[in-house]
Amino acid sequence: GENVEQHPSTLSVQEGDSAVIKCTYSDSASNYFPWYKQELGKGPQLIIDIRSNVGEKKDQRIAVTLNKTAKHFSLHITETQPEDSAVYFCAAPSFGNEKLTFGTGTRLTIIP
């Protein structure tokens, strides 16, 4: 099955700086890579995803990059704001896209 590793487990950045979270996956057949954000007291929510036919995708201050050869993908948050403080999870599909395997999560803290 799929194995997803995520780093770092915790990350603190000054407000306005950039944050980068990295994930690696094991199944070269995986073709869809979502990122979920979990705010305090809530369930995770999809914030961005990328498919294997593109190398980068942006949505305002958030971007995701994918390196299929190296089997890793990263979440980039620019101009961080206090509301970016949350736990972020990467994921990759397994079982033919029927389920997701999640990374272990990154707790991001934005320091005002």
Partner 1 sequence: DVKVTQSSRYLVKRTGEKVFLECVQDMDHENMFWYRQDPGLGLRLIYFSYDVKMKEKGDIPEGYSVSREKKERFSLILESASTNQTSMYLCASRPMGGETQYFGPGTRLLVL
Sheet holding 4-7, edge to edge: 4-7, 19-25, 72-77, 62-67, 56-59
User: DSSP 3-state helix, strand, coil percentages of the chain (rounded to 5)?
Assistant: 5, 60, 40
Interface residue with partner 1, options 25, 103, 108, 110 (CB under 8 A)? 103
Interface residue with partner 1, options 7, 58, 61, 99 (CB under 8 A)? 99
Q: Which 27-46 positions form the footprint of partner 1 (CB under 8 A)?
A: 32, 34, 36, 41-46
Token pair 């498919």 is found at: 51
Contact (CB, 8 A) for 74 and 7: no
- Positive or negative, the Cα torsion across 97, 42, 106, 20? positive
Stretch that binds partner 1, among 13-21, 61-69, 71-79, 103-111 (CB under 8 A): 103-111
Please say which residue, 1 or 112, places its beta carbon nearer to partner 1: 1
Interface residue with partner 1, options 11, 13, 49, 72 (CB under 8 A)? 49
Query: Which residues contribute to the site for partner 1 (CB under 8 A)?
Result: 1, 6, 9, 32, 34, 36, 41-46, 49, 89, 97-105
